[in-house]
Amino acid sequence: MSGRLVVIGGGQAAFALVAKLRALQDTRPITVIAAEACLPYQRPPLSKKYLLREMSLDRLLYRPEAWYAEHGIDIRLSTTVTRVDRRASEVTLSDGSRLAYETLAFATGATPRRLPASIGGDLEGVYVVRDFRDADRLAEEMKPGRRVLVIGGGYIGLEAAAVARSCGLEVTVIEMADRILQRVASAATSAIVREIHRSHGVDIRERMGLHRLIGEGGQVTAAELSDGSVIPLDVVIVGIGVAANDALAHDAGLETSNGILVDSHGRTSDPAIFAIGDCAVLPWQGMRIRLESVQNAVDQAEAIAAILAGGSAPYDPNPWFWSDQYDVKLQIAGFGLGHDETLVRPGQREGSVSVWYFRQGKLIAVDAINDAKAYVTGKKLLEAGATPDPALLADPQVDLKSLLV
Ligand SMILES: Cc1cc2nc3c(=O)[nH]c(=O)nc-3n(C[C@H](O)[C@H](O)[C@H](O)COP(=O)(O)OP(=O)(O)OC[C@H]3O[C@@H](n4cnc5c(N)ncnc54)[C@H](O)[C@@H]3O)c2cc1C
């Protein structure tokens, strides 16, 4: 292959794509255009060990700088693609130069939603967590006795709440929906996670929105909540979800709808252009989904690398995810969307438990809380498309291994 691959974005998916291509002995010229000033790095620790200052930036990098040169990968940091000209097969860069491609891959990720300035979203002391600079700034605020309000009870908000509590801050979490994790987990899992936070002293308020943030001299000092109460605070962490970075693709005339639409081979509506990772909307089991996870970024990128290198196997995700909060490891296999039943199975150790999700009698996901055995078994069952007998599953005396067929 001789034509250049240009990758837009320098995150998890971009790295996985170029690393896999080179592992497959694909020698085409590759240029990665990366907006951030840092070589590709892992994001998950940003709301976990990196925020706790237990990990350095060096340890987040997938590979050192020399690796890119050794593998003939031209990576341009602090540079963005500002326009895609599909007729000329060229991209325009932030320095005004143009670069020709034969194949183009969008790996542009997602951007956290922010609070509007009209309700105080632009005050000092209000943070989101997406890149290492966000985490560096927030880490400075992690001082005992300070008061933090976390807006949004999703995984990133709850992980940041756990870090803040571990650092001795007073933590309040507000969630507008009926329960934390409502978008991504069952009521049973929400209840377990809520209890974990409450036992650590976090004040979790569900069905509670934010009316506005209040500031003094440009610094956030309090929040007025939807019930009219006012709580004094020093720091706000906004974890209200992300929006796919699809504007560039949309402007180039590609099909987008809360992300860049791709087929099961990762192709957009232009066959020379692919989209991978958080920015891509893919077909799955009759639905169109966007997965925001390391699993999807890596597996989809590697599947597309294999296709570019001459393969033809479609990408069929086996979703998995994890979250670390305090000393609790939550591992999720499958995708619980549309579940109509759940079953809670106590684990063998204190504090270990798993929640099994079913749709029309079929196992579709498992959340394992400090229960690696349940996670591994659930993952294997899901990969085999098997559903265990619920009566056996619910019985803690039955060895999970015996459910594997
Ligand atoms: C704090 C945090 C914790 C997380 N924890 C977990 C976890 O525990 N488990 C899990 O599975 N997943 C977790 N995730 C999600 C996971 O990190 C993402 O799903 C993954 O990083 C997606 O990879 P990506 O390459 O699609 O996007 P990203 O890693 O976001 O990379 C996209 C890159 O593209 C750049 N870019 C965008 N537009 C342009 C442009 N026009 N030109 C050039 N560059 C551009 C962006 O600046 C960014 O650097 C977490 C994410 C965050 C933020």
CB 108 within 8 A of CB 122: no
Examine the domain organization and report whether 230 and 289 are in the same domain.
no
**Cα 8 to middle of ligand 1, angstroms:** 12
Residue at 285 is within a domain: yes
Examine the domain organization and report whether 183 and 133 are in the same domain.
yes
Of 182, 217, 238, at which residue does a domain stop?
238
Which among 43, 136, 302, 329 is the best mutation to test ligand 1's pocket, defined by most ligand atoms within 8 Å of the CB? 43
Q: What is the 3-state secondary structure (H, E, C) of 367-381?
A: EEECCHHHHHHHHHH
Examine the domain organization and report whether 118 and 96 are in the same domain.
no
Token representation of residue 11:
């995150």
pLDDT-derived band at 375 (thresholds 50, 70, 90) equals very high
Q: Cα–Cα distance between 327 and 390 in angstroms, integer?
A: 29
- State the closest ligand 1 atom to the C-alpha of 111, by its place in the atom list counted from 1: 30
Residue at 318 is within a domain: no
Q: Helices in 131-186 by DSSP H: which ranges?
A: 132-140, 155-166
Q: Cα–Cα distance between 239 and 173 in angstroms, integer?
A: 10
Which among 41, 138, 294 is the best mutation to test ligand 1's pocket, defined by most ligand atoms within 8 Å of the CB? 294
Count of domains for the chain: 3
Which pLDDT tens digit goes with each residue over 377-388? 999 999 999 999
Examine the domain organization and report whether 52 and 104 are in the same domain.
yes
Q: Cα–Cα distance between 336 and 16 in angstroms, integer?
A: 26
**Cα 12 to middle of ligand 1, angstroms:** 6
Residue at 322 is within a domain: no
Give the domain extent around 303: 5-111+242-308
- Regarding beta strands 30-33 and 219-225, do their DSSP bridges make them parallel or antiparallel, or are they unpaired? unpaired
Q: Cα–Cα distance between 59 and 71 in angstroms, integer?
A: 21
The mean per-residue pLDDT over the stretch 366-389 comes to 96
Examine the domain organization and report whether 215 and 364 are in the same domain.
no
Provide the CATH number for the domain around residue 337.
Answer: 3.30.390.30
Examine the domain organization and report whether 107 and 189 are in the same domain.
no
Of 238, 268, 284, at which residue does a domain stop?
238
pLDDT-derived band at 2 (thresholds 50, 70, 90) equals low
The mean per-residue pLDDT over the stretch 128-147 comes to 97
Residue at 170 is within a domain: yes
**Cα 349 to middle of ligand 1, angstroms:** 34
**Cα 106 to middle of ligand 1, angstroms:** 12
Which pLDDT tens digit goes with each residue over 283-309? 998 999 999 999 999 999 999 999 999
Examine the domain organization and report whether 103 and 198 are in the same domain.
no
Residue nearest to atom 10 of ligand 1 (CA): 293
Helix, strand, or coil (residue 17) = helix
pLDDT of residue 285: 87
pLDDT-derived band at 136 (thresholds 50, 70, 90) equals very high
Residue at 317 is within a domain: no
Residue nearest to atom 23 of ligand 1 (CA): 12
Q: Which residues contact 228 (CB under 8 A, 6 or more apart)?
A: 211
Residue at 205 is within a domain: yes
CB 171 within 8 A of CB 165: yes
Which pLDDT tens digit goes with each residue over 220-254? 999 999 999 999 999 999 999 999 999 999 999 99
**Cα 388 to middle of ligand 1, angstroms:** 35
- State the closest ligand 1 atom to the C-alpha of 80, by its place in the atom list counted from 1: 42
Examine the domain organization and report whether 99 and 10 are in the same domain.
yes
CB 210 within 8 A of CB 229: no
CB 387 within 8 A of CB 381: yes
The mean per-residue pLDDT over the stretch 119-130 comes to 98
- Regarding beta strands 5-8 and 103-106, do their DSSP bridges make them parallel or antiparallel, or are they unpaired? parallel
**Cα 160 to middle of ligand 1, angstroms:** 17
Provide the CATH number for the domain around residue 181.
Answer: 3.50.50.60
The mean per-residue pLDDT over the stretch 10-34 comes to 98
Residue nearest to atom 53 of ligand 1 (CA): 130
Of 238, 259, 280, at which residue does a domain stop?
238
- State the closest ligand 1 atom to the C-alpha of 13, by its place in the atom list counted from 1: 25
For the cut 80, the answer to whether the pLDDT of residue 367 exceeds it is yes
pLDDT of residue 151: 98
Examine the domain organization and report whether 288 and 300 are in the same domain.
yes
The sign of the CA dihedral 95, 101, 105, 106 is positive
**Cα 191 to middle of ligand 1, angstroms:** 28
The position carrying tokens 């936070």 is: 197
Residue at 144 is within a domain: yes
Q: What is the DSSP letter of 267?
A: B
Residue at 97 is within a domain: yes
Examine the domain organization and report whether 167 and 95 are in the same domain.
no
- State the closest ligand 1 atom to the C-alpha of 321, by its place in the atom list counted from 1: 11
Examine the domain organization and report whether 214 and 145 are in the same domain.
yes
Examine the domain organization and report whether 219 and 121 are in the same domain.
yes
pLDDT-derived band at 1 (thresholds 50, 70, 90) equals very low
The mean per-residue pLDDT over the stretch 70-78 comes to 98
The sign of the CA dihedral 268, 272, 273, 276 is positive
Q: Cα–Cα distance between 345 and 374 in angstroms, integer?
A: 9
Beta strands in 226-279 (DSSP E): 230-232, 235-238, 242-244, 260-261, 273-275
Q: Cα–Cα distance between 273 and 172 in angstroms, integer?
A: 44
Ligand 1 binding site (Cβ under 6 Å of any ligand atom): 8-14, 33-36, 43-44, 46-47, 80-81, 107-109, 129-130, 156, 245, 248, 277-279, 292-295, 297, 321-323
The mean per-residue pLDDT over the stretch 182-196 comes to 97
Which pLDDT tens digit goes with each residue over 310-337? 999 999 999 999 999 999 999 999 999 8
**Cα 37 to middle of ligand 1, angstroms:** 14
Residue nearest to atom 26 of ligand 1 (CA): 277
